[in-house]
Every structure is written in structure tokens, then in C-alpha cells.
Amino acid sequence: MIDGRTDLRGFVFPDPLQMGDARVGGSTFRAISAFPEFERVHWRDIDFSGAVMRNARFTESTIERCLFTGADLFDWRLWGSRILDTSFQRADLAGSAIGTGPYRDAGINIWARVDFDRANMSNAVASECVFLDCSFRRSKLRGVWFTHVTFDGVVFEGVLQRVKFAAQWSEGKRNPGPMRNADFRGVRFRDVDIRYRFENVVFDDTDDIPVIRDYRTVLTRALEMARASRDPRENAQVDLLEVLADHAGDYDTVLVTADFRGLGYDLHEPALVNLVKRAQGDAG
């Protein structure tokens, strides 16, 4: 025991066994035996710091008051599970499926009071899950797309790059509700798109963070201004504003730093920024 937890620090779980290779259509596929699978387990008060536990699968399970500090948890996948009062500080969760939608009668994954500080969560899948009172300080979230996710009491810090937060509701998907009690102060945004209704969500108060409130109204007004303008630089923003307006959705507040330069657009173009600011003034 260590600090009241079962001591499994540095424990190495066996890798999946390679069963052999098969060639199909000129390509070679590697046949793998079962990944480590845990069904309806309840892990409580265990210290897995520094453990190696790659490719684990959890279904209808609970992980409670555990430590995974610095653990190698690459490609974890969870369905219908609860992770409570647990720390993943500096853990490697890259490529993991942390939100996978409803699973049988167990529902969706719930992460409550979880510390992801400095964890590597690059390219993780986060769809239809819940984060309650979770911390993402200096987490590596590059390539993560949070879709239909419920956020309440979350803190982000550091650089967010190539991250999408999308709450759009569609047939067969749960409504995640608004993003509540979220703190983005101290975040630097690089190619980030947040589309939610906000309740008590705070950002640094700087002109560098393009938070657009009353989003649909502002875009519609900015588009009208661009079309009517005698300034050719503002006229040139019509195409991009039409794209943004067509995908506005039902959001009352949006943060957009998405990189459209590959499509020939620049969200930091002074003419566009000026149009949006004027439109926000009219809407405000």
C-alpha cells in the first residue's frame, strides 16, 4: 500500500500477442489476439503511476480514486464507464476513445473530478460523453474533436491547437446542453473552433480571442455589410462569411480561430475582423 492505495506503480501489462500475418489483395495485415479487456470491473484506490497498459478496453466499468501519473495508456477505449476522482497527470492517452456514445443500458462515459493536466491526449476520440469538474491544464489535445460532449466545471490552460468543440445536435445524438462553468483563461488558441451555448464561460479579455456573441445575428449583419460595402477588401470577405453563416447552427456564442488559409481564407484578415466587430456593435 502507498498513501492508502494498492501499489501497482510501474506495472507492465502484457502486449497483445501477434498471431501471424495475412496477405489480402497485395497488402499484409497483422492478426492480433485479444486486447486487455475489462468488463464490469470496479478499480478503487490503486496507484498505477508509471504503468504500461496500452490498448486496454473497458466496458461498463468504474475507475475510482486511482492514479495513472505518467502511465502509458495509449489507445485506451471505454464504453459505458465511469472515471471518478482520478488523476492522469502526464499520462499518454494518445489515440484513445474517451467518449464513445451510449453503450447498452450503461449510457455514456462520465469523467468526474478527473485531472488530465499535462496528459497527452492527441488525436483522442471524444464523442457523447461528460466531463464534470475536470482539469486540462497544459494537456496535449492536438487533433481532438469534442462532439456532443457535456462540459461543466472544466479548466483549460496552455496551447490549444487543432481542437474542435462542436455541440450541434442531430437525429439520434444526445443534446449535450450548454458549456457551463468553463475557464479558458491562460489559453492560447491555434486553429480552434468552439460552437456551444455558453453559461459562465470565461476567456482572457483580449482582442486576440475572437469570441462572437449572438453568433448567427452577427454573421448575418456582417455579411450584409460586406455585400453593401464600397471597400473591395470588405467585398472580398463575402464568400467566407457565407460559408460561416451557412454553418452557424444554433449557438449564441462562438469562438473561432479555425485555420481557413488552405481554402484561401484568413480569419485574421483586418477587413473581416473589422466587419465582425462592427456587426457585433450593431447587435450589441
Q: What is the 3-state secondary structure (H, E, C) of the chain?
A: CECCEEECCCCECCCCCEEEEEEECCEEEEEECCCCEEECCEEECEECCCCECCCCEEECCEEECCECCCCECCCCEEECCEEECCECCCCECCCCEEEECCEHHHECCEEECCECCCCECCCCEEECCEEECCEEECCECCCCEEECCEEECCEEEEEEEEEEEECCCCCCCCCCCCEEEEECCCEEEEEEEEEECEEEEECCCCCCCCEEECHHHHHHHHHHHHHHCCCHHHHCCHHHHHHHHHCCCCCCEEEECCCCHHHCCCCCCHHHHHHHHHHHHHHC
pLDDT of the chain, 284 residues: tens digit per residue? 888 899 999 988 876 655 555 554 455 555 455 678 888 999 999 999 999 999 989 999 999 999 999 999 999 999 999 999 999 999 999 999 999 888 888 799 999 999 999 999 999 999 899 999 999 999 999 999 898 899 999 999 999 888 888 876 555 666 778 899 999 988 888 778 787 888 888 888 665 556 677 777 888 888 888 898 888 888 888 888 887 777 666 655 666 554 444 444 456 677 877 787 788 776 55
C-alpha count within 13 angstroms, C-beta hemisphere, residue 9 = 8
Residue type, 94: A
Among residues 41, 57, 139, which one has the least CA distance to residue 91? 139
Identify any residues that bridge with 146 across adjacent strands, giving them in sequence order: 126, 165
User: What pTM did the predictor assign?
Assistant: 0.78
